[in-house]
Every structure is written in C-alpha cells, then in structure tokens.
Structure 1
Amino acid sequence: MRTGLLRVIGAATAAYGVAAACRPDWLARPVGMVGEQGDTHPHTDMALRPLAWRDAADGLAMLLAPAGPALVTAAAVRIASDVGDAVLFGRTVTGRFRRAGAVAGALGWAALTAAALAAGRRDPTPCPA
C-alpha cells in the first residue's frame, strides 16, 4: 500500500469535494447538467451537493485514517464511489464524447486509488539463490 499516494489522493478528493459543494456547477458542466445559458438549476445544485460532500468526507477519511484497515476501507469507499459514478455517467450522460470523458475520469480516479492500494503488496523477501 502506498500510504503517501493515498494521502495525496485523499487531499485532492477532499479539496475538490468542498469546492464542488460550494460550486456544484463544477460537477454539472462536464456531464451536461446545465441549461442553455450554461447555468445550473437550483434543484440540480441541490442534487449534486451530497455527491460533493461524499467526496469531501471520503477524501478527508483517506487523509486522516491511520494506516492499515481504516485507510484501506476509506480507499475502498473511494473506489466504489468512483465506479458507481462511472456506471451512472455511462448510463445517463448524453453525448458520446461527454459520456466517454465522464466515465474515463471516474474510472481513472478509481484505478489510481486501486493502484496505490495494490502497490507494495509483494513479498519484499528476496528469492533464495
């Protein structure tokens, strides 16, 4: 497990989550949830804020959890959230390019977090000669 990388991912996730909770249009624009003028409806803002706070909370958990099972759990929640987002985006985002970008972004973060979890799990004992 690459604890340092997981902490960086957690910090980035927490910062983005707080920013997106304050500015839900940051989540709405890339997936096409805006009006003709590029603005978000208040109901859209209300629906997206919980997703942003979810990311902020999980990022904070990854940043502050002690190394070991707590950090692994926080990272697993992050991965599950990203995979869930990818499935949702893949089924609902309109436009091939926009949908592909949203799915790739979500799966990219899931893959990065999974790679940080998996790294270093090999047995460090050298092979006998």
Structure 2
Amino acid sequence: MPALTTLTGAATAAYSMALVAKPEILQRPSGLSRNQDNRTLTRLVGVRDTAIGLAMVLAPAGAPRRAAVGARVASDWGDAAVLGVALRGRDTQAKVVGFAAFWGAVCLAALRFDER
C-alpha cells in the first residue's frame, strides 16, 4: 500500500488540476465572484497546489517528504487564514475555512502516520 502522504498528495494534485481546468469548482461553493481576475487567481492556486501535491507523491521518505507536506500544510492553513478574512460575514466562510484547515490537518496526520 502506498504511503498515506502519497495518497493525500495524489488527491491534492488531482483536485488542483481540476481547479486549473475549471476554477468554478472552488469559486461556486466559496461564494467568490466568477470574473476573469478570480479565475486567474484560482488557477494560480491550482498550479501551486498541483506542484505541491506532486512533490508529496514523488518525495522520498525523510526530510524531502516532510518539506513537501510542510508546504502543503502551510498553504492550506494560509489559505484558511486569508479566506477567513476575505469571506467574513458570508455564509460560506465556515465551510471554506474549515475544509482548508481540515485538509492541512489530514496531510499532517498522514505524515505523522507514515513516520511512526
């Protein structure tokens, strides 16, 4: 069975590639307006997260894997913080912030499990 960090990295990369192709996947549930600027920014996040997800898949155990997962967790928790402010007062805030924070925690837990 592959390492859990490999599985969470693959899931991250797959979702992120979908965001590059169709930014509405994130914009609609988050309540972000679907204009060209937001589509561009969503695609940038998708490219960043695809790279990090692939790094999680390809990184060997040890320091390289910890660095890749660290980048994933920092990105997810950073996204949660930024979106928490940006979506303040919207019905979607808790869902979006919760999902970003949760996914970062899942990736961190996967690393901890793999390194036990």
TM-score, with structure 1 as normaliser? 0.82
Matched residues in 1 for 2:76 and 2:37: separation? Answer: 23
2:77 is aligned, of 79, 83, 98, to 83
Structure number with bigger Rg: 1
Q: Does 1:41 align with 2:35?
A: yes
Matched residues in 1 for 2:3 and 2:32: separation? Answer: 35
Deviation per CA, 1:50-75, whole angstroms, max 9, x where unpaired?
10111100000000111111111000
CA RMSD of aligned residues (A): 1.6
Task: Find the residue that maps to 1:83 and give its secondary structure.
Answer: helix
Residue matched to 1:114: 108
Contact 2:77 2:100 (C-alpha < 8 Å) held by counterparts: yes
Shift of 1:44: 1.4
Q: Any gaps of 5 or more consecutive residues in structure 2? A: none
Pair 29,101 (structure 1): closer, same or farther in 2 beyond 3 Å = same
Contact 2:4 2:114 (C-alpha < 8 Å) held by counterparts: no
Contact 1:31 1:99 (C-alpha < 8 Å) held by counterparts: yes
TM-score, with structure 2 as normaliser? 0.91
Further displaced range: 47-56 or 75-84: 47-56
Matched residues in 1 for 2:65 and 2:115: separation? Answer: 15
Task: Find the residue that maps to 1:53 and give its secondary structure.
Answer: helix
1:59 is aligned, of 37, 43, 53, to 53
Contact 1:32 1:94 (C-alpha < 8 Å) held by counterparts: no
Post-superposition, which runs of at least 4 consecutive aligned residues in structure 1 deviate over 3 A?
A: 94-97
Amino acid at match of 2:59: A
Amino acid at match of 1:102: V
Contact 2:3 2:114 (C-alpha < 8 Å) held by counterparts: no
Matched residues in 1 for 2:43 and 2:90: separation? Answer: 25
Amino acid at match of 1:44: N
Task: Find the residue that maps to 2:61 and give its secondary structure.
Answer: coil
Q: Does 1:29 align with 2:23?
A: no
In terms of fraction of residues, the more helix-rich structure is: 2
